[in-house]
Amino acid sequence: MVAHEIEYKLHGDDMQFVEIELDPGESAIAEAGAMMMMDDGIEMETVFGDGSNQSKGLLGKLVGAGKRLITGESLFMTVFTNHQMEKKHVSFAAPYPGKIIPLDLKEFGGKVICQKDSFLCAAKGVSVGVEFQRKLGTGFFGGEGFIMQKLEGDGLAFLHAGGTIIQKDLLPGEKLKIDTGCLVAMTKDVDYNIEFVGKVKTAFFGGEGLFFATVRGPGSVWVQSLPFSRLADRVLAAQSGGKDEGSILGGIGDLFDGD
């Protein structure tokens, strides 16, 4: 597998977008709706799956699309191809505040495992598939972490995560405990599992959930400080406070108002 050798530039800080430079004949793939802007001369094509198996006939296309359906993503992806004789640019925007992580898959053994909602775009030739965790505990209690995506190939791929992102490089046998929603990605050699917090009182009243993810080296993991699910929960909680949020008399006032 040989992916297209694209070049890129990141713009912004908290609401980033990535600008990809395509040489004549080069292509990039992206999730539907991720495109921000593109130069005239770049053509868009909607394909089944990730676009890396288009030469395998109808069966290959259906397999690729089926894998994406399992992860909850769209059956389709968009391929952006430069059909002109000069370099062109296409930009892809992050869906919510956070950071874009560029990953050269050659540097990580040709495979990175990531949360199913974190993939943004990649060079054409990068395969986007499904990574099933074989451990029983992970399957029953992993939540979003049970079915993860795998990015395979030798090209550039771009992930997006919320808040601040940190890369932790683990030594052989080194173990790290992470909130299940904060784990963004990991290299293929990292051992991953779901563990119970250990104490019933802590589990029910600690506010951190019943389970956390454990990762064991060797390898690298990427961790986000603000998962989108946590951000959404805070927004919904703020909306439920209504117009009198912050006032101790808000609830009493609503009784008299008939709310």
Reported as a single tens digit per residue, the pLDDT across 53-107 is 544 555 655 655 555 555 555 667 899 999 999 999 999 998 888 899 999 999 9
pLDDT tens, residue by residue, 21-57: 999 999 999 988 899 999 999 999 988 766 665 445 5
Q: Where are the domains of the chain?
A: 5-235
Name the pLDDT band for 135 (thresholds 50, 70, 90): low
pLDDT value at residue 87 = 96
The helix (run of H) or strand (run of E) holding residue 70 is helix 57-70
User: For residues 35 and 77, what is the distance between their CA atoms, to the nearest angstrom?
Assistant: 11
Apex 8 CA angle, 77 and 56, nearest 5: 35
* Mean pLDDT of all residues in 101-122: 92
Computed over every residue of the chain, the mean pLDDT equals 79
pLDDT above 60 (res 178):
yes
pLDDT value at residue 58 = 57
**Token reading at 111:** 């495979």
CATH number of 5-235: 3.60.160.10
Tell me the chain's radius of gyration from C-alpha atoms.
Answer: 21
Are 114 and 71 spatial neighbours (Cβ–Cβ below 8 Å)?
Answer: no
Phi/psi at 72 (5° precision)? 85, 5
pLDDT above 90 (res 224):
yes
Are 188 and 111 spatial neighbours (Cβ–Cβ below 8 Å)?
Answer: yes
* Mean pLDDT of all residues in 158-187: 93
Name the pLDDT band for 109 (thresholds 50, 70, 90): very high
**Token reading at 87:** 């370099």
Q: Which residue has the higher pLDDT, 9 or 229?
A: 9
CB burial of 70-104 (b: ≥16 within 10 Å; e: otherwise) equals: ebebebebbbbbbebeeebbbbbbbeeebbbbebe
CB burial of 34-56 (b: ≥16 within 10 Å; e: otherwise) equals: bbeebeeebeeeebbbbbbbbee
**Token reading at 239:** 């909306």
